[in-house]
Amino acid sequence: MRPGAKSAITADPLTWDAFPARGVDRIDAFAKAFLKVPKGEGSGTPFVLRPWQLETVAALYPMEEPRPRQALLSLPRGNGKTGLAALLALYGLFADEIDAPQVLVVASSEQTAQHVYKAARRMIELNPELQDRAHVYKDRIVTPLNGGEFYALPATVAALQGWDPTLMIVDELHVVDRDVWEAVTSASGKRAESLTLAISTPSDSQESVMWDLVKYGRKQADPAFVFREWAAPEGCAVDDEAAWQIANPALGDFLSIDALRATQATTREAAFRRYRLGQWAGSQDSWLPFGMWDTRKDDRTLQPGERIVLGFDGSASGDSTALIACTMDGFISPINVWNKPESLGWRVPRAEVTQAVTDAFNTFDVVELACDPWGWRSEIEAWSKTHGERRVVEYNTGFRNRMGPATDRLYAAVMDHTMTHDGNKTLSLHVSQTVAVQTAIGAIVSKDKRNSPRKIDAAVAAIVAWDRAAWHNNTKKRRVVSF
């Protein structure tokens, strides 16, 4: 790559008369004729698409119209996603016969986006025919003969304005937020043909646009949306090498099994499952196994007059506030969750919370309201006077000797399938964002980090409600036995 101004292109335009029609067959022929592996295993040898890659490319670029508009490829690390992305980018730039093609690679940072860009640049440098027809700069590639452009961009809303891409590649979607994804998809679609392609390993949280797309892809047969997922079977042992093979199509080819063995020996299980087995395993420190809470959803609603225990976890402004009910047979349902918005200056509507407490006592047979007292002592005293001192109690969630065992009891109920919940999205989100540290007295739950925007208040209130409902059930049984 020579710095500075570029000389005029004197080579004739590439012609595609001897190649197959546009689509997967041309992509395969283009790779064999023009491209070499840019680095790693087989560096400098012809770029040959494997059968599993050809099947994927055939779905992205079918020989017959129409083409899909969006696609997501979820696969573990080490399976050649950078090389595949670079191939598709160069095909879109040189050989797809679209006037003035614009290819964009988007990642969490410009440095990350440069991975695909550098692989594509190296492929051009390894082929004189492509090199003679491209101007390669530090941050872009230009093909003057067809008006083409190729840029690597950071995944920010501002950076994605004003483009008209024919191909948008989003590298590592799991770290791209919803606002950026919406900016990406709104930028594409201006052309008669355009593709937004995301390639990523799984995220560690259900609070991700990738998880939403995975769920959509698993359930839908949408010709405009291509979804391919390579993952080990659920429940497999982390050292099951047959499961490794299922998740890693390149294993035994350009991905060595020795590398996975070495990685598995030194990597935490959740990280190995995500990055090497393609599984949605959640964070290493997640309180519940990823997706387990969702299995306990029940199409049930609280009924007027039903006996319940209420758990309350309150905040003044920095966090959310939650009032969660648990029935005496172990069904959890939020009364309300006051979620902190992104806007500054928000404060919990205390009068509204008090009204919700009053409404709950009037609607249900409330055995007890257990409240974390921090910041809400005056309201708790008022609730106690209104609804009865024995029915409104303090429950200090900061007291580890109480909270640890309570957390473990709800964990056991989830795992043993002895509890259910109503599927409330906010509660489910808070549960998924809860991390836990194992101690001698039980799991201590918290946010993923101090001042994290990921809230867990509804999960904490659910633990409190479950714990107190269980206590009342056990107390009733002991009283029956005493007679």
Contact 277, 231 (CB under 8 A): yes
Residue with tokens 């303090």: 394
Give the per-residue pLDDT at 180: 87
Spans in the chain with pLDDT lower than 50: 1, 3, 478-483
The span from the CA of 133 to the CA of 317, in Å, is 59
Nearest to residue 56, comparing CAs of 91, 90, 14, 24?
24
Nearest to residue 159, comparing CAs of 136, 184, 142, 137?
184
Nearest to residue 457, comparing CAs of 352, 378, 372?
372
3-state secondary structure of 336: strand
Give the per-residue pLDDT at 343: 66
Give the per-residue pLDDT at 4: 52
* Domains in the chain, CATH or no CATH each: 24-230 (3.40.50.300), 293-481 (3.30.420.240)
Is residue 247 within a helix (H) or strand (E), and if so which, with residue range?
helix 241-247
The span from the CA of 305 to the CA of 367, in Å, is 11
Pair of tokens at residue 88: 């598709």
Cβ neighbours of residue 337 under 8 Å, at least 6 residues apart?
A: 320, 321, 322, 323, 324, 424, 426, 427, 430, 457, 458
3-state secondary structure of 169: strand
What angle separates helix 51-60 from helix 81-90, to the nearest 10 degrees? 50
* Residues in a beta bridge with 198: 72, 170
Contact 398, 375 (CB under 8 A): no
Alpha-carbon 65 to chain mean position: 31
Looking at residue 35, its amino acid is L
The span from the CA of 75 to the CA of 229, in Å, is 6
What angle separates helix 81-90 from helix 24-34, to the nearest 10 degrees? 100
How many residues in the chain? 483
Q: How would you classify the pairing of strands 331-338 and 321-327? A: antiparallel
The span from the CA of 171 to the CA of 85, in Å, is 9
The span from the CA of 22 to the CA of 335, in Å, is 56
What predicted TM-score, i.e. pTM, was given to this entire model?
0.69
Side-chain half-sphere CA neighbours of 329 within 13 A: 4
Give the per-residue pLDDT at 456: 93
Give the per-residue pLDDT at 319: 80
Nearest to residue 316, comparing CAs of 379, 257, 256?
379
Give 3: exposed, middle or buried? Use CB within 10 Å, 0-12, 13-18, 19+: exposed
Q: How many CB atoms lie within 10 A of CB 237?
A: 9
Contact 167, 160 (CB under 8 A): no
Angle at 305 between CA 303 and CA 308, to 5 degrees: 80
Strands (E), 1-125: 70-74, 102-107
DSSP 386-438: HH-TTTEEE--TT-HHHHHHHHHHHHHHHHHT--EE---HHHHHHHHT-EEEE
Give the per-residue pLDDT at 481: 38
Strands (E), 60-160: 70-74, 102-107, 135-136, 140-143, 148-154
Looking at residue 393, its amino acid is V
